[in-house]
Structure 1
Amino acid sequence: MPKSEKLNRREFISSAATIAASISIVPSSVIAGTGHIPPSDQLTVANVGCGTQGLREMSSLLTNPKIRVVAVCDVNKFSTDYIDWSPYGIRNDIRKTIGDDSWWEGKPGIPGGRDIGQEYVEKYYAKNKASGKYKSCVSYEDYRELFAKEKGIDAVKIMTPDHTHAPIALAAMDAKMHVVTHKPIANRLLEGRKVIQKAKDSGLVSHLLAWSDRPEYRQIKAWMDAGLIGELQEIHNWSYRPVWQQWTKIPTEAQPIPEGFNWQLWLSSVPDMPYHKNYTHNVFRGWYEFGGGSVADMGHYSLFPLFETLGIDRSPVSARAFGTTTREEINQVYQWVKNDVAFPASCLIKWKFPEQESLPGFDLFWYDGGMKPFACEELEEDGNDTPEEGLLIVGSKGKILGGFRGENPVLLPESKMMKGRDSERINSREVDRKTDQWVEAMLEGKQTPGSFTRAQCITDTINLGAIALRAGKKVDFDSNLVKITNDEAANQFLTREYRKGWEI
């Protein structure tokens, strides 16, 4: 293949003096099919994880002229058995991005795997080349091999199951690569702490994709700072999720490992166990071993930017949780099923937070699976009920209600408290949110507002909630000692049993 297609940002910078001596304008032949931005101004990215979400977000990487996707990685070579929210969503996204309405025509199922990821990248870049050909996206099964062999990568985007986020992030930073990851940073509290500390020590740029700029939260803070609801007492946040199937027992039947799927690599740090389709391909999140439940899936989106806006950076001192119970018929008798392997179908979690720099101590409540708080008096006064999803800020003198991520916030009761405040209303549908600030930050070597270094409180909070669910009792947490102080047995949930050679 032409050497120009192999030119990467690091090579470009290191040889800049030599190039400058011979040419004054970067020729289009060295631009890797992504417009006319020279490699020195591009971020070379390896995308690790080519399942549904990895492919869904690929378009934003490919269409950003400041990014050049140079590698993909996935333990699955290729299959069409992925589960998604739409039968044609992934297919249609790829068609639109590569400009080919016939792509995947007449083929069954929902595609995914590293072969699809590589094809996606190369088809997109090929359409912008005069030759109509592009074959410079490398593909790997094992991210460790990728990081060892490919030296020209600036950043790694992690789009894999929750339990693999920490080992991949740590390996990427060991290889001096910047890291952007889907939530959570880790699905174990101690792993999260280690990744965050590595980000601090390395000085590399990191970004948790759940962060977003939310003007709604700034409006909420302005109302709080003005004393309109008094002192903060409680925060309530609720989601209708999970939308995936939940299980209560480890599968007992044996299933053959699909061809082209590296089950041992998928397990990563988790000790060996038999393969089952109920673990993989977008249904991993409900298992304690592999996922973080609905609170990790959605709570990061709503709570991380809220914590940042309100100045909440001191981790909770305790957590208590309840989940739905399950019964099954055994020998003509219904018996309670002890579920210690997966998140419940619905749950309620309460965290107690200490005093913050500018806030008093408060309680945070999470509800999911159809659970939500009853309508408060102020809502009933206006003839309204609690919405399906939402955020409620409770103060000593008043309340603020918004959508799940604080969308369209109002003071309650709205009929009285929002009179004359039309200029303060925010129509969240009109808010322009930047989702790729991490690109500019990494090119400039600056931390983002969603940096791992700012995410310890939210990471502790989410994982402590899971610990409370698994412990089945209130757990007291010492953030400095990183220890459950009232139940020694619960400390096992701070970490995991590691497969030999995969220890973190």
Structure 2
Amino acid sequence: MKKDLTLNGSNLPASDIEKQQATSGGKSQMDRRKFVKMTAAGALAFSIVPRHVLGGAGFIAPSDKLTMAYIGCGTQGFRELLPLLAVPGVQVVVVCDPNQYAVGYRDWSKNGLRDEIRAAIGKADWNPGGDNTIPGGRDNGKDIVDTYYSSKRGGDNFKSCNAYADYRELLEKEKDLDAVKIMTPDHLHGLFAIAALKRNKHVLMHKPLSNRLLEGKAVIEAARQSKTVTHLVPWDSNGSMEQVMEWINSGKIGKLKEVHNWTNRPVWPQFPTLPTENVPVPDGLNWNLWLGPEADRSYSPEYTNMFFRGWYDFGGGSMADMGHYSLWTVFNALQLTSPTVIEPNLSHFINMNGVVPNYVRNDFSFPMASSVRFKYPANGDRPPVDLCWYDGGMRPPLPDELMANNEELPAEGMMFTGEKGKILAGFNIQNPRLFSRRKKPVTATTQAIQSYAHDNMVSALTLFADSCKSGQQYPGSFIEAEALTEAVNLYAASLRAGHLLKYDAVSRQITNLPDANKYLSRQYRSGWEPGVI
């Protein structure tokens, strides 16, 4: 494989593309959507071996395929497994999940995922087994991979993929792997990524890098030391800041003061008290492996599957879930690095202890609703700016410009507030509207957002595979996500502490409330330390 091939079909090296992506404003920031289109076309061509070599267009020799382990066989894991199987340059050879059977899973609809799997693998009567409701578990994962390859890529002479419950065992036995994709609950992301990077495996991972700040920093450091390719999936769905920065840089809203971003998440239950019901561990689930580095506790279905995001131990909350999709290009364009102050506001829970109301001190689950303000210092020509995140139905105050027009803020959105005006946009910065003092609103041309539609995912996954083959990192790496990783973990720490935090980025310490530093790391169970697995 030629090492001098570029990923965008031009003469611009991948390293220069990354520099353009990190440059603020309309001056030199490359439109991420243009990059995806350019690289998709180049990568698809890059993947095809000439007919005279292998005797068929589109066929890739087994020795040229990127061998991958797929870690995490839950519902979202399966949704992203299906397009991965359609990438000619990738061969999934291993699946891993501590749960063996399709028991106890939940999803957005009863039969939607099952029907997606049936269509993808070409088997109209496929059923998940288990409790025969929602697909999930490593047995389903192995079956999906084997069935797809036998029916869609029978000429590849594939061997049945292996299946493991324990990621550590997988890494020990499957030494010839090229890459892993990590689709586990959040508390396993960081450890699993570090373990793969130390073994020089390419890593494709869903958000977040970690649900602890210091562990996230360790992931980034491992990525810096490794010569492998890393990619955080939400990059592929971020919106463009091109029009917004053009308006900001031309002074249309005056000096930028605030960025507001709000979501309707959580769309999963969040609990004000710990589970108390004694529930047996489902057959086929290794609860110890599911807990991983976190402290031992009794099994509860309220911890697992769609529920894990709401717990500090296992998830990252609404900002870790959705902020990666909306804020990454915002961080790049505005050159946001580390906040100095994090100010939380959060809902609380009251129960009755006999006849007396009792405030429940919650140090275990995210609140039903919150807003968190991050204060970022000036950076170059960009003045200090506040970033305000809202979830659980919370939104910023309704702007006068919308109130005068009998409009309300949407359930999810983005707003840039300056001294002389505002820019209102969709959650992923789509369809920005300029409200400037004493002038009529200006609406920009609709900006399409990359989505998780099958074809878009196949293109994005092809980029990853070809980047790994060429040895060239492309935009969306773990290293580029450092500032965002810091923000989402400080969001969680501030909510958990329930107090304003002052943060020193150099020491990675909270300076005004020393006890809150415990929320920046975790106490690892024996055998699950980052240097052990």
TM-score past 0.5 threshold: yes
Q: Distance in 1 between matches of 2:437 and 2:481?
A: 33
**Equivalent pair of 2:179/2:203 in contact (CA under 8 Å):** yes
> Which residue of 82, 85, 90 corresponds with 1:62?
85
Which consecutive residues of structure 2, in runs of 5 or more, have no partner in the other structure? 1-51
| Structure 1 position 416, deviation (Å) | 4.5
Pairing 1:402–2:428 present: no
**Equivalent pair of 1:77/1:113 in contact (CA under 8 Å):** yes
| Structure 1 position 67, deviation (Å) | 1.4
**Equivalent pair of 2:214/2:521 in contact (CA under 8 Å):** yes
**Other-structure match for 1:185:** 209
**Other-structure match for 1:220:** 244
| Structure 1 position 440, deviation (Å) | 2.7
Distance 1:182 1:414, change over 3 A: farther
**Equivalent pair of 1:255/1:275 in contact (CA under 8 Å):** yes
Please show how residues 313-392 of structure 1 align to structure 2 within 5 Å.
314-392=337-415
Cα distance per residue 1:359-397 (max 9 Å; x no partner): 211101111111111210121233211111100011122
1:386 aligned partner, one-letter code: L
**Equivalent pair of 1:324/1:347 in contact (CA under 8 Å):** yes
Q: Distance in 1 between matches of 2:464 and 2:165?
A: 26
**Other-structure match for 1:7:** none
Q: Distance in 2 between matches of 1:201 and 1:135?
A: 33
Pairing 1:281–2:301 present: no
**Other-structure match for 1:486:** 512
| Structure 1 position 115, deviation (Å) | 0.5
| Structure 1 position 40, deviation (Å) | 4.7
Q: Distance in 1 between matches of 2:295 and 2:415?
A: 41
| Structure 1 position 335, deviation (Å) | 2.2
Distance 1:201 1:133, change over 3 A: closer
Q: Distance in 1 between matches of 2:260 and 2:280?
A: 44
Q: Distance in 2 between matches of 1:336 and 1:214?
A: 39
> Which residue of 440, 446, 462 corresponds with 1:426?
446
Distance 1:149 1:414, change over 3 A: farther
| Structure 1 position 64, deviation (Å) | 1.3
**Other-structure match for 2:162:** 138
**Other-structure match for 1:17:** none
1:184 aligned partner, one-letter code: P
Distance 1:380 1:254, change over 3 A: same
Cα root mean square deviation, aligned: 2.4
2:474 aligned partner, one-letter code: T
Pairing 1:293–2:321 present: no
Cα distance per residue 1:76-117 (max 9 Å; x no partner): 011232111121121011111111222129973102000000
**Other-structure match for 1:8:** none
**Other-structure match for 1:469:** 495
Pairing 1:52–2:75 present: yes
> Which residue of 191, 216, 228 corresponds with 1:167?
191
**Equivalent pair of 2:121/2:152 in contact (CA under 8 Å):** no
| Structure 1 position 128, deviation (Å) | 2.9
**Equivalent pair of 1:216/1:426 in contact (CA under 8 Å):** no
Q: Distance in 1 between matches of 2:108 and 2:221?
A: 35
| Structure 1 position 229, deviation (Å) | 1.4
Among all aligned residue pairs of Structure 1 and Structure 2, give the percentage whose two residues are the same amino acid: 44
Cα distance per residue 1:326-352 (max 9 Å; x no partner): 122332443222211100011111111
| Structure 1 position 499, deviation (Å) | 0.7
Cα distance per residue 1:281-334 (max 9 Å; x no partner): 22111001111111111111111122123332x111110112111122332443
**Equivalent pair of 1:317/1:351 in contact (CA under 8 Å):** yes
**Other-structure match for 1:244:** 268
Q: Using CA pairs under 8 Å that are at least 6 residues apart, name the structure with larger relative contact order, 1 or 2.
A: 2
What's the TM-score once normalised by structure 1's chain length? 0.88
SS of 1:348's equivalent in the other structure is: strand
Q: Distance in 2 between matches of 1:362 and 1:132?
A: 54
Pairing 1:230–2:257 present: no
**Equivalent pair of 2:238/2:450 in contact (CA under 8 Å):** no
**Equivalent pair of 1:81/1:111 in contact (CA under 8 Å):** no
Runs of 4+, deviation exceeding 4 Å: 129-135, 413-419, 429-434
> Which residue of 469, 473, 483 corresponds with 1:457?
483
Q: Distance in 2 between matches of 1:66 and 1:110?
A: 30
Pairing 1:197–2:221 present: yes
SS of 1:283's equivalent in the other structure is: helix
Please show how residues 101-120 of structure 1 align to structure 2 within 5 Å.
101-104=124-127, 108-120=132-144
